[in-house]
Structure 1
Amino acid sequence: MYVYDEYDKQIAAERVAQFRDQTERALAGELSEEEFLPLRLQNGLYVQRHAPMLRICVPYGMLRSEQLRRLARITRDYDKGYAHFTTRTNIQLNWPNLEDVPDILAELAEVEMHANQTSGNCIRNTTTDPFSGVQVDEIADPRPYCEIIRQWSTFHPEFAFLPRKFKIAVNASEHTDRAAIRVHDIGLQLVRNDQGELGFRVHVGGGLGRTPMVGPVIRDFLPELDLLTYLEAIVRVYNRYGRRDNKFKARIKILVKALSPEGFAEKVEAEWAHIKDSPSRLTPEVVTKFQGYFTEPAYDALDNATDLLATQRFENREFDKWLTHNVNSHKKPGYAIVTLTLKKTGTPPGDVTDFQLEQIADLADEYSYGEARATHEQNVVLADVRQDRLFELWQKLVPLGFATANLNTLNDVICCPGGDFCALANAKSIPVAEAIQRRFDDLDFLYDLGPIDLNISGCMNACGHHHVGNIGVLGVDKKGEEFYQISLGGSSHHDATIGKILGPSFAREEMPEVIAKLINVYVENRTEEETFLDTYRRVGLDPFKERVYA
């Protein structure tokens, strides 16, 4: 993974010193809250319901063990002993003191971490598939391109104050999209053209929030070396024509819809014509340099441990469940990709304690070359585990709460912090997630249901990605009371769709039974091979609506 050079370290140190001065001036009353607001936001600092919240950047989800240990210590020394993985693969502290934030940032800089541009109207953390570099069907490793985008976008003077926040994601799998690129401001899919040349299919204008949209394709093939100049053309057009008079209409998706995808693409192409051969254009040497930051670890020459795993699975049913649901194929013989689920019932989805962070660091060192990866589903991946050590690893995960074999089931809930923490939330999310998990506590039944994405957001900002859940739950306010609106049929994958609202909202105590009724409709109508989403798309909304509101 990428390691900071001296230039990176100098920038990080200077940024910490700058923000320390800004914070001291704000605490002394020399900066008004209005003046301090954009400064703290671009350093990841929010003011939440109960305390400040610091959002720490985890570029494309990659974490070294030493970084995990530093996060654990910061969480213990400056917070309340736990942190939260977000749907942008970042990590949040919910209880830091404002006066301590510069010290936290200084400690992060020592291990090549920061909170730059995790908020504000700027280009945010670039994300990608957590299986990048190790999955079988990958076109090419997307992480070098994510790092190129990160370096280009961080502190770019033209894009520091865009009309609204801006998010980019990159995907490289031919068959799976674990990066949700079609619901991003810019989504990049690595492809090869008929000549075998590497490039990108470019989606622009996706996003969730108040007006959810799936991003249309504005260019079927962008040559690899033109990546930055074309991205710059897109953001220049947005910066010039995006609305600034109404924050609810300021995202690039509104501009793309207003101009039409074809009209927007024409403006981008016209802008690009002026800059495509500028110094920002990549060279083969630059691409090779960045690819060199993401070399393979020193894999052992192994055969697949087929016989060993078959015996271990036969002898231990719980291990068999975990292996089936939480372990994926690896491009190297004898290795596997392991996902640690942070969705044990009774724990807020995505939350980890300081102790658990330290344990993840130890596991990464022992089993995965000192590296872990955050996912936008709020789990953690160990990407390079020897198959002959899977049973040993599983035994260590069980007491830590990371071995719950519910990945991709109804109980693998994506959930924002909601009204327990966020000042923007209309309703709490965490208690609803737990109530649903407790209602569906039979893993064998969950396995029979097949994959179901259940996503919960506490407000229309959609940090829980409810719009693209197969079942989406949105917290709403009704005369001061917390209610929940349900949508069905969403997807964040290659077949991305926005879910349709079922109807009037429900009280919190009704939610587990409402979800049960929806599941019953699916079970009664599905064919043998259909998933929940397949059945919904075939039978439509009405059968679900009739059952729930009968």
Structure 2
Amino acid sequence: MYQYTEFDKSFVRSRAAQFRDQLERWQSGKLSEDDFRPLRLQNGWYVQRHAPMLRVAVPYGELSSAQLRMLARIARDYDEPEAEIYRLACEAQKKLGTPHLPTHYAHFTTRTNVQFNWIPLSKSADVMDLLASVDMHGIQTSGNCIRNISCDERAGVAPDEIADPRPFAEIMRQWTTLHPEFAFLPRKFKIAITGATEDRAATDWHDVGLRLQKNDAGELGFRVTAGGGMGRTPMLGVVLRDFLPWHQIMNYIEAVVRVYNRYGRRDNKYKARIKILVKAEGQRYIDEVDEEFRQIVERDGGPHTIPQAELDRVSASFVPPGLNSRIHRSDETVSSGLRAQAQAHPRFGRWLQRNVAHHKHPAMRIVTLSFKRLFQAPGDASADQLDIVADLAGRFSAGEARITHTQNIVLPWVHVDDLFPLWKAACDADLASANVHLLTDMIACPGGDFCALANARSIPVAQAVTERYQDLDELDDIGEVDLHISGCINSCGHHHSGHIGILGVDKDGQEWYQVTLGGSDGKQSSGAAQAGKVIGPSFSASEVPDVIEAILATYRDIRNTGGTRETFIQTLKRVGLEPFKVAANDARRKAEASR
């Protein structure tokens, strides 16, 4: 993990002190609400449906055990609203059929940040001080600026990796933090980076997507895309450069963002994202970026060219932890030992198959702890769970954990000899569900239970589907399905990229849900990134589980089972949408007839 320098530490502490001063001036009336609002947003403090929401930056998803324990402390001691606010919130939720709103929780987002939903603003400065004490903050987790840079959760450990993207992500994080030219962009700006052949960072769905690769001469560089994004106008990124030498990446991003800053729309926030500019201007935008880049390099001397010495300095923070002599064993010895344990303990074998991935070191594994379980919202983690993960990371993963794009936690440094005791400990903590990449390993935003922007609730729909599919044998038979749920068109639940996407919509003050099929975030198993297509009119909340069941039953009836069994997305691509549309509408008619 990257280790903060004294400059980094001083910077974050001073930012926390600055925020405390701003808060106190607002509390005393010396700073108006209009003046305080942008200041709190620049530090990650929103005001949502019931209470303030804090978004904590977790660059490229990495967390130490110490940071996890601090997040647990904040959840336990500070994520609790004032009694009257909570009473009113619960009364409002009862009318919607949600009797209880959990407190003392953190929430993992699809961009690997951490959110808290109940911390009072009166305690916000204390929380910022606590975060700063473990090298954390909320800087640029909000606002029209370059946001937290996300990454592949298997960076540095994946066997399919061409180069570790984390040093580049860290260099870019430092460069973009409080960059004066890019602090007031037309809209928010998100960058994702991966160094693997498998795009686990969903780069094509970002404002800028970066994929490390090597050219025919073996030189390292980036494939650069721009203009990806979800929301009400889903678009995939357009390739700007097939290969850009790695040391020029910041000069080039400066050109990309500078042209956007110059020409991006500011008169309509729904048309202000870079994707709208790239779509409208096409080749002209690419030409403008190339010319701006030429001037930055030739006229200005390439001020942000990355020296080899700087890359080496930052890369030194990402060396593997000390690996003892157990690492030096053959693949066959490792595999035979695991097979024997799996035969003796079938549940452990199922977990190995679903939650454990290969590592670039043959005697190491990458383990996913599932935070998708009954009666807990996807991505939510209680204070106790955060403490448990901190302990598991310390015991089994060199003190390091990572938040994933799919709202789980990865332990990247687990030795094969430790897999069985880790599994037993995860079982004790109810974090060992063997459902990774299956239907119940869904993505969901907080939705209308917490978010002021949402049109409908996501969590009850997620829970209804989870409750219906508790049989792991049935889930295994269905196979890999990406189910993504968003409470509004902003698509924080990434419904556009789900094999099955669910979007909450408002119809005359009532909650309804559109269903899309065929989306992909770009993983090889799903094919190229693409947006799903709506399969018909909206469904009521009570109809959604029946619709999902009908869609999956249709898949199981028509999939090819000869040789390698077709996955859901493969069957969908082969036969098209029509059989699934028919099944979904039949499910609606049956539900209507039964009422």
Is 1:55 aligned to residue 65 of structure 2? no
Q: Give the whole-Å Cα distance in 1 for the aligned partners of 2:543 and 2:252.
A: 49
Give CA deviations for 1:42-69 in whole Å, capped at 9, x if unaligned.
1000001111000001010000101111
Match of 2:529 in 1: 496
Q: Give the whole-Å Cα distance in 2 for the aligned partners of 1:83 and 1:548.
A: 35
Q: Give the whole-Å Cα distance in 2 for the aligned partners of 1:548 and 1:392.
A: 44
Give CA deviations for 1:408-458 in whole Å, capped at 9, x if unaligned.
001101000111111111111111001001112211121122211000000
Match of 1:522 in 2: 555
Query: How does 1:317-466 map onto structure 2 within 5 Å?
Result: 317-466=346-495
Which has the higher mean CA deviation after the structures are superposed, 203-212 or 438-447? 438-447
Which has the higher mean CA deviation after the structures are superposed, 98-107 or 28-37? 28-37
Asked if 1 retains the 8 angstrom alpha-carbon contact of 2:58 and 2:148, the reply is yes
Match of 2:206 in 1: 184
Q: Give the whole-Å Cα distance in 2 for the aligned partners of 1:362 and 1:333.
A: 24
Give CA deviations for 1:203-256 in whole Å, capped at 9, x if unaligned.
100001111111111110000100100000000000000000000000000000
Q: Give the whole-Å Cα distance in 2 for the aligned partners of 1:473 and 1:412.
A: 14
Query: How does 1:118-267 map onto structure 2 within 5 Å?
Result: 118-174=141-197, 176-260=198-282, 262-267=283-288
Is 1:275 aligned to residue 296 of structure 2? yes
* Counterpart residue identity of residue 97, structure 1: P
Q: Which residue of 337, 340, 357 corresponds with 1:311?
A: 340
* Counterpart residue identity of residue 291, structure 1: S
Deviation at 1:307, TM superposition (A): 2.5
* Counterpart residue identity of residue 542, structure 1: E
Match of 1:289 in 2: 313
Q: Give the whole-Å Cα distance in 2 for the aligned partners of 1:345 and 1:41.
A: 33
Query: How does 1:467-506 map onto structure 2 within 5 Å?
Result: 467-494=496-523, 495-506=528-539
Moved over 3 A (4+): none
Give CA deviations for 1:76-113 in whole Å, capped at 9, x if unaligned.
11114211111110111110010111110111101100
Deviation at 1:121, TM superposition (A): 0.6
Q: Give the whole-Å Cα distance in 2 for the aligned partners of 1:273 and 1:32.
A: 44
Deviation at 1:526, TM superposition (A): 1.4
Query: How does 1:66-105 map onto structure 2 within 5 Å?
Result: 66-79=66-79, 80-105=103-128
Q: Give the whole-Å Cα distance in 2 for the aligned partners of 1:514 and 1:30.
A: 55
* Counterpart residue identity of residue 51, structure 1: A
Match of 1:12 in 2: 12
Deviation at 1:508, TM superposition (A): 0.5
- Structure 1: 5+ residue runs without aligned partners? none
Deviation at 1:463, TM superposition (A): 0.6
* Counterpart residue identity of residue 509, structure 1: S
Deviation at 1:487, TM superposition (A): 0.5
Deviation at 1:150, TM superposition (A): 0.3
Q: Give the whole-Å Cα distance in 1 for the aligned partners of 2:519 and 2:410.
A: 25
Q: Tell me the SS of whatever aligns to 2:243.
A: strand
Q: Give the whole-Å Cα distance in 2 for the aligned partners of 1:192 and 1:265.
A: 22
Q: Tell me the SS of whatever aligns to 2:210.
A: strand
Q: Give the whole-Å Cα distance in 1 for the aligned partners of 2:308 and 2:574.
A: 47
Q: Which residue of 579, 587, 590 corresponds with 1:543?
A: 579
Q: Tell me the SS of whatever aligns to 2:543.
A: helix
Deviation at 1:265, TM superposition (A): 1.1
Tell me the matched-pair count: 548
Match of 1:28 in 2: 28
* Counterpart residue identity of residue 318, structure 2: F
Q: Give the whole-Å Cα distance in 2 for the aligned partners of 1:543 and 1:326.
A: 32
* Counterpart residue identity of residue 26, structure 1: W
Asked if 1 retains the 8 angstrom alpha-carbon contact of 2:547 and 2:583, the reply is no
Which has the higher mean CA deviation after the structures are superposed, 262-271 or 274-283? 274-283
Q: Tell me the SS of whatever aligns to 1:190.
A: strand
Match of 2:570 in 1: 534
Give CA deviations for 1:170-224 in whole Å, capped at 9, x if unaligned.
01111x1110000000000001011000000001000011111111111100001
Q: Which residue of 106, 111, 117 corresponds with 2:134?
A: 111
- Structure 2: 5+ residue runs without aligned partners? 80-102, 587-595
Q: Tell me the SS of whatever aligns to 1:509.
A: coil
Is 1:298 aligned to residue 327 of structure 2? no
Give CA deviations for 1:316-373 in whole Å, capped at 9, x if unaligned.
1111110000000011121110000000122111111111111111111110100000
Q: Give the whole-Å Cα distance in 2 for the aligned partners of 1:306 and 1:549.
A: 47
**RMSD of equivalent CA atoms:** 1.0
Q: Give the whole-Å Cα distance in 2 for the aligned partners of 1:65 and 1:546.
A: 50
Give CA deviations for 1:144-168 in whole Å, capped at 9, x if unaligned.
0100110011000011111000000
Asked if 1 retains the 8 angstrom alpha-carbon contact of 2:500 and 2:519, the reply is yes
Deviation at 1:32, TM superposition (A): 2.6
Q: Give the whole-Å Cα distance in 1 for the aligned partners of 2:342 and 2:7.
A: 50
